[in-house]
Amino acid sequence: MKQFRAAEIPIMKRLQIGEVAQKAGVSVDTVRYYERRQLIDEPPRRASGYRQYAPRVIGRIRFIKQAQKLGFTLGDIEELLRLRDAPNTDCSDMLDRAEAKLVEIEEKIAALSDMKSTLEELVDQCRRSQQGSDSECPILDAMEKGDAS
Amino acid sequence: MKQFRAAEIPIMKRLQIGEVAQKAGVSVDTVRYYERRQLIDEPPRRASGYRQYAPRVIGRIRFIKQAQKLGFTLGDIEELLRLRDAPNTDCSDMLDRAEAKLVEIEEKIAALSDMKSTLEELVDQCRRSQQGSDSECPILDAMEKGDAS
DNA sequence: CTTGACTCTGGAGTATGCTCAAGGGTTTAT
DNA sequence: ATAAACCCTTGAGCATACTCCAGAGTCAAG
């Protein structure tokens, strides 16, 4: 049972969407979007219809944005949030998903690196052909002939 | 003026869309899509409405697909096609665009590599924490606290 | 002649992650 | 009281690159 000194008594303050959005670093529209996508719960409303959020939703939205930074899509994040919410989550489920994402990212890096290599080669050829009197373009040629693959 | 032996006289054969698509390695729908996007010209039609393509459109579509493999979007490729079509194209315009694409790709690789590093670190921590009696999940923690950025 | 394969069109759908629009009500500070 | 800032809704738009749909006409081979 946690003990508080008088100055530390938590106040159950409710927040409007603008404040939530600002503190979480997203737009108001994004907050509503996340609610529509059920990434966050719909909060209770005032008689006016204004949403009244518990402050902990800020942490949840920050979780979402952090996960996005690691390459997880919102679809992925739905599942991560389920794990976060489950009472007996251990690390192995999160580990599985992190490892899977790591593999995806490595594959993307590999694909991009292939493109890079090929472009570098073409750029090189192009620079060399400009130095000679050759008026043909190796980049055009490579794309015509499929040699770029 | 190019000279042909009798067996080499080119025949001005027109092709239907199915044959073009098959030879270019794309779908019929994709050919029509490229026409709609003006990446290829609308060809003359038969009385039936069937498209009658000159064989050189196959090369043009192959050019498009090769450029896509190098990371160029169809928007990018519109411009590449203009360069390809221009009578006095030299290599420097193609070179500019190849270099610009190279920079984009390098930036994407850098971003992905950051993600990778962070995920690897989290995966490492997670594995180590499973070996101890610690029941907390460093991945969850990192996403909650923003330490993953 | 018949039938299966091919052709045609315009528009909507797919997936992703927001963002905008239109029109109106509510709150807050002066 | 007033006005600006805030809130609300639903649905469409944005960008990308196709792909599918529905319904009908045409071609080519048997």
Query: Is the C-beta of residue A111 closer than 7 Å to nucleic acid chain C?
Result: no
- Which nucleotide, over all strands, has the C1' atom closest to the CA of A22? D6
What CATH number matches the domain at A1-89, 1.10.1660.10, 3.40.50.150, 1.10.10.60, 3.40.50.300? 1.10.1660.10
pLDDT tens-digit map of B9-42: 445 688 999 999 999 999 999 999 999 999 999 9
pLDDT at A140: 83
Closest-CA distance, B29 to chain A, in angstroms, reads 22
Tell me what the pLDDT averaged over chain B comes to: 84
Of chain B residues 29-88, which have a beta carbon within 7 Å of strand D? 29-30, 32-33, 46-50, 68, 73-75
Closest residue by Cα to residue A141 from B76, B54, B67: B67
pLDDT at A101: 94
Tell me which of A148 and B70 has the higher pLDDT: B70
- What share of chain B in percent tops pLDDT 70? 84
Ordered mean pLDDT values, 10 residues apiece, chain A (149 residues): 41 86 94 94 94 94 94 93 81 88 94 94 85 68 64
pLDDT tens-digit map of B110-129: 999 999 999 999 999 888 87
For residue B65, pLDDT beyond 90: yes
Residue A88: CB atoms within 10 Å: 5
**Phi and psi angles of residue A51, each rounded to the nearest 5 degrees, phi first:** -65, 140
pLDDT at B4: 38
pLDDT at A8: 41
CA distance A67 to A62: 8
Distance in angstroms, CA of B75 to C1' of C18?
Answer: 22
pLDDT at B12: 65
CA distance B134 to A75: 29
Residues in contact with A81: Cβ distance below 8 Å, sequence separation at least 6, in sequence order? A39, A60, A63, A64
pLDDT at A91: 79
Collect all residues of chain B within an 8 Å Cβ-Cβ radius of residue A92: 130
Distance in angstroms, CA of A13 to C1' of D8?
Answer: 22
**Phi and psi angles of residue B19, each rounded to the nearest 5 degrees, phi first:** -70, -40
pLDDT at A135: 58
SS (H, E, C) A66-119: HHHHCCCCHHHHHHHHHHHHCCCCCHHHHHHHHHHHHHHHHHHHHHHHHHHHHH
Segment B73-101 shows an average pLDDT of: 87
pLDDT tens-digit map of B34-62: 999 999 999 999 999 999 999 999 999 99
Which residue places its CA closest to the C1' of nucleotide D19? B29
Residues in contact with B83: Cβ distance below 8 Å, sequence separation at least 6, in sequence order? A140, B89, B93, B94, B97
pLDDT tens-digit map of B89-100: 677 888 899 999
Which residue places its CA closest to the C1' of nucleotide C25? A48
**Burial class of B90 by CB neighbour count within 10 A (0 to 12, 13 to 18, 19+):** middle
Distance in angstroms, CA of B72 to C1' of C18?
Answer: 24
Collect all residues of chain A within an 8 Å Cβ-Cβ radius of residue B106: 116
**Phi and psi angles of residue A144, each rounded to the nearest 5 degrees, phi first:** -65, -40
Domain ranges (residues) in chain B: 1-89, 91-149
